[in-house]
Amino acid sequence: MSDTNRSEGPTGVLVMAYGTATGPDDVEAYYTHIRHGRPPEPEALKELQERYEMIGGSPLLGITEAQAEGIAAALEEADPGRFTVAMGQKHSAPFIEDAVAELLERGVERIIGIVLAPHFSTMSIAQYRSRAEEAAAAAGVPVAVIESWHEEPGYLEFLNQAIADAYAELPEDARGSVELAVTAHSLPVAILERGDIYVEELEKTRDNLSGRPEFADTMLAWQSAGRTEAEWIGPDICDVMPDLAAQGRTAVVVCAAGFVSDHLEVKFDIDYEAQEAAEEAGLALTRTAMPNDDPCFCATLAGIVAREAGQA
C-alpha cells in the first residue's frame, strides 16, 4: 500500500474487550468493578467463585491477548509498519485507558477501536467508545470506534462452519429434529425503550444463519442475564428446553454468536447450565466452537480495521 495518504505517525489500533476475573481470588475485585464499587453479597460471591473453579478459571484474558496479537500480525503482514496494536479491557487490567496511554506513547496520530463483540448496544459498544475517546481527548488524538461487525462475511463463514461441526458431533439417533439456537448475552429490557438496536442486530445474525436443511428451525435465545430486579431480554436458553422437547425436537445446537471467546458465559452458562436443562428435557445438546484466536477470524477483524483506516 502506498504511503501517500498516511499520517506521519502510525495508526493506533485499540482492541477492546470486557475483561475477566483471572481466578477465584480475583472474582470479588472484578465484580466490584462491574458493580461500580459495590462488592457482591457474600452468598453471590461464593457462588461466582465456585463457577470459576468449576471451569478451571477463566481463559478469557489469554484468549483476548492472543486475539489482539493475531489482529496485529494480520495487519503487519498486509501493510508493514502502518499499524500498532494495544489491548484494553472494560472491567479488568489492562484497562482501556491503559491501552490508549500506551498507543499515545508510541506516537500515534489517530486511533481506530474495535470491540471483541459483534453487535452494537448502548450498554456495551457505546461505553467502550466513550471511554476511549475520553482517554485520548487530552492529547487531541481522534478516535474512531467500529460500532458493529455482525454481518462481516468472515465472521458468518466461521459461524456456519462451526455450526456444521457441532451438528456432526450429535449422536446419529438424536438428529431426528434439531433446533439451532443462536444465543447472546441478555441485557435489561429497558434498553429497547431507548431505541437500542442490539436485539435487531442479533435477529439479523439469526436470519443469516437460518435455512440450513439439517435444522427444523432456528431461534434466538438469551443467556447470562443479571440477577437484578429489572426485567431482562428473554427467553433464556435454559427455559426453552422443555418447549423444544414438547415440539418434538430431539436435539439442540447452540451457537453463542454474541461471544467470540471461551469464558464463563460459555463454559458454565452453556456447557453446564444449558446442558443440564437439555438433559432434563430429554434433548441432546452440542455447541459451536468459539472463534478465539483462529487465524482466519483474526484476519477478518484486521480487515475491518484496515477498511476503517482507509475510509478515515
| Tens digits of pLDDT across the chain (312 residues) | 444 444 468 999 999 999 999 878 899 999 999 999 999 999 999 999 999 999 888 899 999 999 999 999 999 999 999 999 999 999 999 999 999 999 999 999 999 999 999 999 999 999 999 999 999 999 999 999 999 999 999 999 999 999 999 999 999 999 999 999 999 999 999 999 999 999 999 999 999 999 999 999 999 999 999 888 899 999 999 999 999 999 999 999 999 999 999 999 999 999 999 999 999 999 999 999 999 999 999 999 999 999 999 975
CATH class of 153-287: alpha beta
In this prediction, residue 8 carries a pLDDT of 66
Q: Is residue 80 reached through a cis peptide bond, with omega within 30 degrees of 0 on the bond before it? A: no
Bridge partners of 251, per DSSP, are 178, 284
Element holding 61 (H helix, E strand): helix 60-78
Element holding 6 (H helix, E strand): none
Range(s) within the chain of domains with CATH label 3.40.50.1400: 11-149+293-311, 153-287
Decide which of 3.30.70.2660, 3.40.50.1400, 3.30.360.10, 2.60.40.420 is the CATH code for 11-149+293-311: 3.40.50.1400
Q: Which residues contact 289 (CB under 8 A, 6 or more apart)?
A: 162, 165, 166
Grid cell in block for residue 290: 468459539
In this prediction, residue 24 carries a pLDDT of 80
In this prediction, residue 6 carries a pLDDT of 46
In this prediction, residue 265 carries a pLDDT of 95
> 60-78 and 295-311 helices cross at what angle (nearest 10)?
60
Q: Cell numbers 482466519 correspond to what residue?
A: 296
In this prediction, residue 152 carries a pLDDT of 98
In this prediction, residue 209 carries a pLDDT of 98
N residues, the chain = 312
